[in-house]
Chains A and B, each alone.
Chain A
Amino acid sequence: MPQPLTQAPVGDRTNDFVVKFANVNGSGSASANLLFARSIIRMGVPVVARNIFPSNIQGLPTWYEVRVTERGWRAARGGVDLMVAMNPQTWDKDVQGIDPGGYLFYDSTKPIPPSKFRPDITVLGVPLTAMCNRAYTDSRQRQLFKNIIYVGALSALLDIDPAVIEALIAEQFKGKDKLIRPNIAALHMGRDYALQEFPCPLPLTVRKADAVGDRIFVDGNAAAALGAVYGGATVCAWYPITPSSSLAEAFQRHCRRFRGEGEQNKYAIVQAEDELASIGMVIGAGWNGARAFTSTSGPGISLMQEFLGLAYFAEIPAVVFDVQRGGPSTGMPTRTQQSDILACAYASHGDTKHVLLLPEDPHEAFEMGSTAFDLADRLQTPVFVMLDLDVGMNEWLCRPFAWDDARRLDRGKVMTREMLDAGRDFGRYLDVDGDGIPYRTYPGTHPTRGSYFTRGTTRDRYARYSEEGPVYLDNMERLLAKFETAKTLVPAPVERRAAEPTRVGVIHYGSTNAAMEEALDGLAGRGIHLDTLRLRAFPFPDAVADFIHRHEVVFVVEQNRDGQMRTLIVAECGVDPAKLVGLRHYDGTPITARFIVEAVLAALPDFNVVPLRKAVP
């Protein structure tokens, strides 16, 4: 029997533990917690940081989890070794969540009855409120410095280099220099208290390492927005919705930095009245030759359906960043899921299919965020970049952004005035190259040639209205041919072969990859080897069906209830559905390696696929 994974790891805990902060939303804890995480990264030790927050501005509970992992795992681990319990509201739940042998850090200003603790944990009380009340008179200061004081205390308990934190504080308040000194003072107030009162450091320690390399710490929404800047996007129309709002806001920030010279902005951002108007503006701008995008989440995708069908059928480039959250309906607005796959792949009435890109982390969100615009122009169709809340709203430690200056924006097939003057035959929906992709003209190109009427109604190859059956079929078949072409243009899936030959495969995508890497390691340690294929786009290149054909059983691991990607594979790849076994994590928390390992272990006995010499001891 494999050893259950729910037990806390034992032994040396240096650079391998989980700290969880329980805070009250709106108390200013976020920047202190971020400071904590970044100081560990600066010491060369990778972290996994996750925000767990409610749909609320002020008052409700919020958590921040920092997994310290020198091995560089990228997903949440599960479990807590040190709980920083700053929220009385969630005290009981927080104390319960600590792994046996773990630590509880709390504000000891008010006495707490012994019954509220656990005998199997170590309690570290610091009178944070009392210290603040003594040191500060302003109530907001008392609140904000309390956060820095606990970071100071933690630096002593976990042996984080205070000089590193001081440097970060100095960077953070650059330009507001008078804030630097009081923050550093607060840091040391907490640090000195802990050094004096507790046997510092605890067995949970941070030790300087060289495991971070050139990686950067950034959230997927900011990365995707930067991708849009590098992808040449000039028009952004959006409507606020969690968890995608920060993408449009980041685009604004990046544009101010890179595209606004004086009052000569080389971009236009409109906060629309709703998602229908957002996508309408994107389509209008795309029709007129600008690169345009919107960012939204599931409810927005639902609202955009009619327009998405228009863009598909009238063949207008558009980029949609869908930062997925828990559905259906309003669902879990601040929790993560991969549950818009089918709603996007087949968005709108009638026969439609759309291109999806599936970034695994902020690095890929940047990459795909820029590539999406080339694909949209090349294919003249909507392209969806399918982030999720986990990637979009959390800072991930990931490979740095990269750009090749030799790269040129691919505007696709645009017939110019010169081409029209040279007498090129222009039919808006004429498949001149046999790839299903016709030429288009931008409005205003030529006084007498190349104008056409764009419509959502059926038309012939020269854009003339027609409801004739053969004309309709000709157009619909060409759209299919174009989708075939798309298979050759979208990012290819990434296959990873197991160390030993296996008949079992795993298909997964997006943010699941972080947990998958760790799960594969854990399973390999138990003698279970799995080949994996990480999807990076829809339509599926032929490599996907090929991977399925090469394996007897293929797990499809995803973060939704109904196995939406599995459904899409079955529908599009012509494979035996019985071979595809869905493993689904969809409670709104990010998927973990623990979940995958346990799910695979539970499912495997149903299939006689474990190599014999492994199955018989």
Chain B
Amino acid sequence: MTYLAKPRFHHPKLPTNALGYTRRDYEGAVSTLCAGCGHDSISAAIIQACFELDLPPHRIAKLSGIGCSSKTPTYFLGASHGFNSVHGRMPSVLTGANLANRDLVYLGVSGDGDSASIGLGQFAHSIRRAVNMLYIVENNGVYGLTKGQFSATADKGSLSKRGVANHDEPIDLASMALLLGASFVARSFSGDKEQLVPLIKAALRHKGAAFIDCISPCVAFNNHPGSTKSFDFVREHNDAVNRLDVMVERAPIETEYAPGELVEVTQHDGTVLRLRKLDATYDPRDRGAAMAYLQQQSAKGEVVTGLLFVDPEAADLHDALSTVATPLNALDDAALVPGAKALDKLNASLR
């Protein structure tokens, strides 16, 4: 239905958020992806999360690489600046943008080809640099735009649409993110909005490198029997370790869960993450245990979802660089140019 222009009007009683924006103010152009594409659900979740967090759309910068997933920033947050960069290199562009203006919210959208194949290096280094961002990989294990080649996250033995088995080991980006020091790591499923929206909200409010690996089945090339990234497969093998509620301002906690089942994590900015534990033994504040759990479940063919790890006290790249609070792009001549007198002094030292 992409040939239809998106209507501008909306219901007069559409609910507004604290900024007076409706959900429509967070939307973008009509998607040109395939009908039923998991990516569109993720776009919808991003829209929902930003609306609920009362984020001013123009203060979000959305960046992507190349591929189906990287096209999606056109389909959400139309009032934000967007940057569709080059294949596999979104992380460096986002890093630079973040250095220039620390006051914006940075949303990096990528795919499994973009991040695990061509862009594995930049993915890794942006995570280990603790760039303050939400990095979402819309993971379908397949190259959509070039019509169905395996990506580096495709499971070994999984079948392509033509029935060919993948012989390479998969790259698990969530495990890598944990290993690389990401301070927020989650995995979710585009078909599970209840889980995904709170994770995006929590990640957007997280300070430091937040990573979400979102399984997002490709309806055109990777949703058939034998695929391990199909809607059916993920639904059958989804091992959710927790459910999340995000409270931006601390509201009275209703004790609806038995003690021991609820974990509360207060993030740097005061956001409270309330985790309803679905797995009694899983502690999302223990990086080592999280990594071990992921490996164990992966060996069993299970897809672990939920908030896998969070370090609420994480620092970011600007902390490491001791950058001034004023965004670097807002510093004026007086702050930047040392002037003629300083130069004369320097000249004198070179004689």
A residues with a Cβ closer than 8 A to B are 41-42, 212, 214-218, 226, 229-230, 232, 234-235, 237, 258-260, 263-270, 272-274, 276-290, 292, 306-307, 310, 400-405, 408-409, 441-448, 451-457, 465
Question: How far in angstroms is the closest Cβ of chain B from A524?
Answer: 31
Q: Are A307 and B328 in contact (CB under 8 A)?
A: no
Q: Are B101 and A451 in contact (CB under 8 A)?
A: no
Q: Give chain A residues whose Cβ lies under 8 Å from the Cβ of B247.
A: none
Q: Are A280 and B96 in contact (CB under 8 A)?
A: yes
Q: Are B82 and A454 in contact (CB under 8 A)?
A: yes
Question: How far in angstroms is the closest Cβ of chain B from A3?
Answer: 37
Question: How far in angstroms is the closest Cβ of chain A from B38?
Answer: 22
**B contact residues, total (Cβ < 8 Å):** 60
Q: Give chain B residues whose Cβ lies under 8 Å from the Cβ of A235.
A: 96, 99-100, 328
Give bound CA distance, A230 to B346, whole Å.
Answer: 13
Give bound CA distance, A426 to B20, whole Å.
Answer: 25
CB of B97 within 8 Å of the partner chain: yes
A-contact 0/1 string along B28-42, CB 8 Å cutoff: 000000000000000
Q: Are B79 and A287 in contact (CB under 8 A)?
A: no
Tell me the chain B residues, 26-81 only, with Cβ under 8 Å from chain A.
56-59, 61, 63, 73-74, 78-81
Q: Give chain A residues whose Cβ lies under 8 Å from the Cβ of B329.
A: 234, 285, 288-290, 442
Q: Are B58 and A447 in contact (CB under 8 A)?
A: yes
Q: Are B81 and A451 in contact (CB under 8 A)?
A: yes
Identify 10 new A-B residue pairs, CB closer than 8 A, beyond the known A234-B100, A284-B92. Answer: A216-B347, A218-B350, A234-B329, A235-B99, A263-B322, A288-B97, A290-B328, A443-B101, A444-B61, A454-B83
Give bound CA distance, A267 to B324, whole Å.
Answer: 8
21 A-B contacts (beta carbon < 8 Å): A214-B347, A215-B351, A232-B333, A259-B336, A264-B322, A264-B324, A266-B328, A270-B317, A272-B92, A280-B89, A284-B94, A288-B96, A288-B97, A288-B104, A292-B96, A401-B343, A443-B101, A448-B58, A451-B79, A456-B85, A456-B86
Q: Specify the chain B residue showing the minimal Cβ separation from A267.
A: B328
Q: Specify the chain A residue showing the minimal Cβ separation from B96.
A: A284
Q: Give chain A residues whose Cβ lies under 8 Å from the Cβ of B93.
A: 280-281, 283-284, 287
Q: Specify the chain B residue showing the minimal Cβ separation from A276.
A: B89
Q: Are B81 and A232 in contact (CB under 8 A)?
A: no
Question: How far in angstroms is the closest Cβ of chain B from A596?
Answer: 29
Q: Give chain A residues whose Cβ lies under 8 Å from the Cβ of B59.
A: 444
Q: Are B343 and A307 in contact (CB under 8 A)?
A: no
Q: Give chain A residues whose Cβ lies under 8 Å from the Cβ of B122.
A: 273, 276-277, 280
Q: Are B343 and A402 in contact (CB under 8 A)?
A: yes
Q: Specify the chain A residue showing the minimal Cβ separation from B126.
A: A277
Question: How far in angstroms is the closest Cβ of chain A from B218?
Answer: 22
Q: Give chain B residues whose Cβ lies under 8 Å from the Cβ of A409.
A: 333, 336-337
B residues with a Cβ closer than 8 A to A are 56-59, 61, 63, 73-74, 78-86, 89, 91-101, 103-104, 121-122, 124-125, 129, 317-318, 321-325, 328-331, 333, 335-340, 342-343, 346-347, 350-351
Q: Are A451 and B97 in contact (CB under 8 A)?
A: no
Question: How far in angstroms is the closest Cβ of chain B from A554?
Answer: 37
Most buried by A among B74, B92, B323, B343: B92
Q: Are B333 and A268 in contact (CB under 8 A)?
A: no
Which of the residues A288, A404, A457 comes within 8 Å of B61, measured between beta carbons? A288
Q: Give chain B residues whose Cβ lies under 8 Å from the Cβ of A286.
A: 96, 100
Give bound CA distance, A237 to B331, whole Å.
Answer: 19
Q: Specify the chain B residue showing the minimal Cβ separation from A463.
A: B82
Q: Give chain B residues whose Cβ lies under 8 Å from the Cβ of A41.
A: 351
Give bound CA distance, A237 to B323, whole Å.
Answer: 15
Q: Are A265 and B80 in contact (CB under 8 A)?
A: no
Q: Are A217 and B83 in contact (CB under 8 A)?
A: no
Q: Are B58 and A400 in contact (CB under 8 A)?
A: no
Question: How far in angstroms is the closest Cβ of chain A from B284?
Answer: 29
Give bound CA distance, A14 to B96, whole Å.
Answer: 55
Which of the residues A278, A285, A404 comes within 8 Å of B340, measured between beta carbons? A404
Given contacts A281-B96, A281-B99, contact A453 B324 (CB under 8 A): no
Given contacts A216-B350, A266-B331, A277-B122, contact A284 B338 (CB under 8 A): no
Give bound CA distance, A259 to B322, whole Å.
Answer: 12
Given contacts A272-B125, A310-B85, contact A448 B79 (CB under 8 A): yes
Most buried by A among B56, B103, B328, B347: B328
Given contacts A258-B342, A276-B89, A454-B84, contact A443 B104 (CB under 8 A): yes
Given contacts A288-B101, A454-B82, contact A234 B337 (CB under 8 A): no
Given contacts A230-B337, A232-B333, A409-B336, contact A276 B80 (CB under 8 A): no
Which of the residues B63, B73, B343 comes within 8 Å of A403, measured between beta carbons? B343
Question: How far in angstroms is the closest Cβ of chain B from A254?
Answer: 9
Q: Specify the chain B residue showing the minimal Cβ separation from A41.
A: B351
Q: Give chain B residues whose Cβ lies under 8 Å from the Cβ of A290.
A: 96, 99-101, 328-329
Q: Are B346 and A226 in contact (CB under 8 A)?
A: yes
Q: Are B81 and A292 in contact (CB under 8 A)?
A: no
Q: Are A443 and B96 in contact (CB under 8 A)?
A: no
Q: Are A405 and B340 in contact (CB under 8 A)?
A: yes
Give bound CA distance, A206 to B207, whole Å.
Answer: 63
Q: Specify the chain B residue showing the minimal Cβ separation from A292.
A: B96
Question: How far in angstroms is the closest Cβ of chain A from B323?
Answer: 5
Q: Give chain A residues whose Cβ lies under 8 Å from the Cβ of B350.
A: 216-218, 400
Most buried by B among A214, A269, A274, A447: A447
Q: Give chain B residues whose Cβ lies under 8 Å from the Cβ of A263.
A: 322
Question: How far in angstroms is the closest Cβ of chain B from A465?
Answer: 8
Give bound CA distance, A212 to B335, whole Å.
Answer: 34
Give bound CA distance, A260 to B321, whole Å.
Answer: 11
Q: Give chain A residues whose Cβ lies under 8 Å from the Cβ of B103.
A: 444
Q: Give chain B residues whose Cβ lies under 8 Å from the Cβ of A307.
A: 86, 89
Q: Give chain A residues whose Cβ lies under 8 Å from the Cβ of B338.
A: 229-230, 258
Give bound CA distance, A234 to B321, whole Å.
Answer: 12
Give bound CA distance, A226 to B93, whole Å.
Answer: 25
Q: Are B58 and A451 in contact (CB under 8 A)?
A: yes
Give bound CA distance, A407 to B188, whole Å.
Answer: 54
State the 7 A-B residue pairs at the shortest beta-carbon distance, nearest first.
A284-B96, A280-B92, A290-B100, A443-B81, A281-B96, A289-B329, A288-B100
Give bound CA distance, A272 to B80, whole Å.
Answer: 27
Which of the residues A232, A264, A284, A306 comes within 8 Å of B100, measured between beta carbons? A284
Q: Give chain B residues whose Cβ lies under 8 Å from the Cβ of A282.
A: 96
Q: Specify the chain B residue showing the minimal Cβ separation from A223.
A: B350
Q: Specify the chain A residue showing the minimal Cβ separation from B74.
A: A453
Q: Are A281 and B95 in contact (CB under 8 A)?
A: yes
Q: Specify the chain B residue showing the minimal Cβ separation from A307.
A: B86
Q: Give chain B residues whose Cβ lies under 8 Å from the Cβ of A276.
A: 89, 92, 122
Give bound CA distance, A454 to B99, whole Å.
Answer: 18
Q: Are A268 and B121 in contact (CB under 8 A)?
A: no
Question: How far in angstroms is the closest Cβ of chain B from A307?
Answer: 6
Q: Give chain B residues whose Cβ lies under 8 Å from the Cβ of A216.
A: 347, 350-351
Give bound CA distance, A442 to B61, whole Å.
Answer: 10
